[in-house]
Amino acid sequence: MKLLVFVLNNEEFLEEVLEAYVEAGIEGATILDSEGMGRFLTYEVPLFADFREFMKGNKPYNKTILSVVRDESCIERLVPLVEHVVGSLSERGRGIMFTVPVDWATGLSPTIPPSGEQPS
């Protein structure tokens, strides 16, 4: 299992990104409001106030999407679908996606096999 984390820089794409998750076979996710360190330092720490001009045009807030993924092939299917929506993640400012191993989890929805049989 993996924890899939995606920090979406442009929250206007959220609905389309979530549609990509469903299309890739990812059953659920938690969405958090977030903000980048640059925006926080620029607007909340007076020492960095001069960076406001540099930050002009950047989206102030992000959406962070967390999902525990059992089938890692879903991630392989998801990446091109997300990049179709937001553009290449290798380009600065699109977002950041990464995984972290999950050693244990409870409370997850049971996975129903493709045949429709109930999991054992």
Kindly give the pairing relationship between strand 2-8 and strand 95-101: antiparallel
Backbone CA torsion sign across 86, 90, 96, 97: positive
Task: Encode pLDDT of 36-78 as tens digits.
Answer: 776 666 656 565 555 555 555 555 689 999 999 999 999 999 9
Which residue is it, tokens 């890692």? Answer: 72
* Domain topology for 2-101: Alpha-Beta Plaits (3.30.70)
The neighbour count for residue 70, using CB atoms within 10 Å, is 14
* Backbone region of residue 99 per phi and psi (left: phi > 0; alpha: psi in -120 to 50; beta: other values): beta
Q: According to the model, what pLDDT value does residue 45 have? A: 56
For the segment 17-41, the average pLDDT, to the nearest whole number, is 89
Please return the burial class of 32, using the count of CB atoms within 10 Å of its CB with bins 0-12, 13-18 and 19+.
exposed
* Greatest pairwise CA separation for the chain in angstroms: 61
Read off the pTM. Answer: 0.78
Q: In what order do the strands lie in the sheet with 2-8?
A: 30-34, 62-69, 2-8, 95-101
In sequence order, the 6+-apart residues with CB closer than 8 A to the CB of 60 are 35, 39, 43
Q: Where exactly are the structural domains of the chain?
A: 2-101
